[in-house]
Chains A and B, each alone.
Chain A
Amino acid sequence: AQSVTQLGSHVSVSEGALVLLRCNYSSSVPPYLFWYVQYPNQGLQLLLKYTSAATLVKGINGFEAEFKKSETSFHLTKPSAHMRDAAEYFCAVSDNSWGKLQFGAGTQVVVTP
């Protein structure tokens, strides 16, 4: 069985500051890991995914995430927050190659001027 824990349901960052969203997972097999973003009134959109090819994964909109097996973590970062980054972010894990994902509870990001 897999599970995902996202630390912090709400994060507030200043524009231009570092964005750090934490995700820890549990999985009995090597996992596939994902970050999705949900903007208001829009569908979930894939930011990036870990496929075991590289531990540092770069995604869209300047986001990246690092897979750390020893810490069972897949934290999402962006060096400089922009107002348009205000959204809800979900970490997800899968133990297979298709679309049955286990999502975390999400982290709402607020960006202040």
Chain B
Amino acid sequence: DTGVSQDPRHKITKRGQNVTFRCDPISEHNRLYWYRQTLGQGPEFLTYFQNEAQLEKSRLLSDRFSAERPKGSFSTLEIQRTEQGDSAMYLCASSSTGSGTNEKLFFGSGTQLSVL
């Protein structure tokens, strides 16, 4: 168990550019989540996958945001035409359905995005 891995740790980009972040969950975990955390706030839920199926994406902040998990393993989060307001820490978490209730989420260390 190597934990949830996120890449890159830091990303600096210019306004209007596209960025993509990668998340590798714990290998046996079938659920994967993306959260966003801005300074002084707690994490905010964005979207969720069970295996390769994206089961909830209503919280994705705009149509500039998209996420994929094509083979039910790693996931990518893409932001198109970045804006300064997109600057935040993007967190990935994974969990296993296991016995069912009250799943324990394992979080990665996040990708810090700075849009100049």
Interface residues of A (CB under 8 A from B): 4, 9, 32, 36, 41-46, 49, 51, 90, 92, 97-106
A45 near B107 with CB under 8 A, answer: yes
A52 to chain B, nearest CB (A): 9
Q: Dominant SS at the A interface?
A: loop
**Stretch with Cβ within 8 A of A (4 or more), from B41-49, B66-74, B75-83:** B41-49
B53 to chain A, nearest CB (A): 13
Interface residues of B (CB under 8 A from A): 3-4, 31, 33, 40-45, 48, 56, 91, 93, 95, 97, 100-110
- Pick the contact of A106: B3, B33, B41, B104 (CB < 8 A): B41
A106 near B42 with CB under 8 A, answer: yes
Residues from chain A with Cβ under 8 Å of B44 in the complex: 103
Residues from chain A with Cβ under 8 Å of B43 in the complex: 44, 90, 101, 103
A100 near B56 with CB under 8 A, answer: yes
B45 near A43 with CB under 8 A, answer: no
Name B50's closest neighbour in chain A (CB-CB).
A98
